[in-house]
Amino acid sequence: MLPEKYNPLEGKMFRILDKNGNVLDESLVPEIDNEKLIGMYKTMLLTRCADNKALQLQRQGRMLTYAPNTGQEAAQVGSAAAIEEKDWLVPAFRDLGAWLTKGMSLEKVYLYWFGNEMGSNLPENVKMLPIAVPIATQFNHAVGIAMASNIKGEDEVTIAYIGDGGTSEGDFHEALNFAGVFNAPVVFIVQNNQYAISVSRNIQTKSKTIAQKAVAYGIPGIQVDGNDLLAMYAATKEAVDRARNGGGATLIEALTYRLGAHTTSDDPTRYREDSEVEEWKGKDPLKRLKKYLIDKGLWSEEKDIEQIEEYEKYALEVFKKVEASGNTEPLDIFKYHYAEMPKHLVEQYEEYKAYLEKGGN
């Protein structure tokens, strides 16, 4: 089992590709057919293109505050690609690659950041919770879903995402404790991008790794190179298989870096050096995987340019459709949080509906 071979208490990190896209150990390369591998890279490219477009649109005043993902694509796509359609995905707010991998459309993503409530109204076949902005609360939701899967005898695994800052919240520790005690089939992904807004990971916790926090709760923990798609897929796939076979939860720390700002309201130059950012740009997950694919004869620089141009055009077309959709219908705010609205929301809904019918706004 990988967490035993790469014990975080011994300072070991799991990696398959070096920063230049070269395989360090062929025996570690997971079995992924070429079509899926190329699809994963394309999803990473779409994530990067959609992310860049969202930043441009927000700066033009056409989108609300946005949380960039650039630099974290491998951590997201590599892990989400290891689950199945029947499995649940429980996100935080910086998981664009995971959302797209799971089946959330770019239109829904842009609707959400545009401020339209329909962005959180996902299709029935996409087993994913809405985006969670409150820090770490989604981890308890994930454990609840996983425990319910056990109780109902369903062959499902839940994967949940959080940032390094979220591991300082009580919800994080409560979730790991419950997952351990109840042997919940859940995989926790911590995207350690080195900063919780302006708070450096170095002063976020005294633990040498975040992965080692799993030890206290009796579950496996492993630190993975989060910019290495192959390593993220392999580690997550093993954890998912283990959970599905009754082995319980796993904590995966994806060591990565947020190349952009925390959100479009943030100025990262106030708390980190440009030299640090440049160093991490040399570990770009897209460049690393592209080199690997080209070496295997599965990709080329020409294909890369064509695909980027296609995705940039596609992202803008999707947003124009979202922009033309207008704002959220006020009554829709009440409709999609519960399968059946509780009494207090029904009362508020009826009161507000009557107010609108009388000409209110």
One DSSP character per residue, 307-328 reads: HHHHHHHHHHHHHHHHHHT-SP
- Catalytic site positions: 258, 262, 271
**Tokens representing residue 11 in the block:** 């300072």
Burial of 205 (0-12, 13-18, 19+ CB in 10 A): middle
Q: 3-class SS at 123? A: coil
Distance between CA atoms of residues 327 and 179, nearest Å: 39
Task: Give the containing element (helix H, strand E) for 84.
Answer: none
Distance between CA atoms of residues 3 and 257, nearest Å: 22
Count the Cβ atoms, other than its own, within 10 Å of residue 332. 13
- Whether the CA torsion 29, 30, 33, 36 is positive or negative: it is negative
CA distances from 147 to 35, 139, 217, 237 (A): 34, 12, 16, 20
Render the burial of 80-102: b for 16+ CB within 10 Å, e for the rest: bbbbeeebbbbbbbbbbbbbbbb
Burial of 349 (0-12, 13-18, 19+ CB in 10 A): middle
